[in-house]
Amino acid sequence: MCCEDLICARCAGPVAEARCPSCRSARDSMHHTSFAITPQLLIAIVAVLLMLLVLLAAHHG
């Protein structure tokens, strides 16, 4: 969801401009990104670890 079209009930300004604390809070909560491990990221991590194990085994073997 985008905050560009939202109007703040407190200051009647666009939320995207963040004129008041309510706007800033709403904009920050909409654009807040948290780190989450997605299935794709998990597969990529496992693939990299497997490649490292294969390289180590080939180097020592």
State yes or no: pLDDT of 34 exceeds 70: no
The encoded tokens of residue 60 equal 């020592």
pLDDT at 33: 63
pLDDT at 51: 98
| SS3 at position 35 | coil
pLDDT at 44: 97
Distance CA 61, CA 59 (A): 6
Residue pointed to by tokens 């985008």: 2
- The answer, as to whether pTM is greater than 0.85, is no
State yes or no: pLDDT of 61 exceeds 90: no
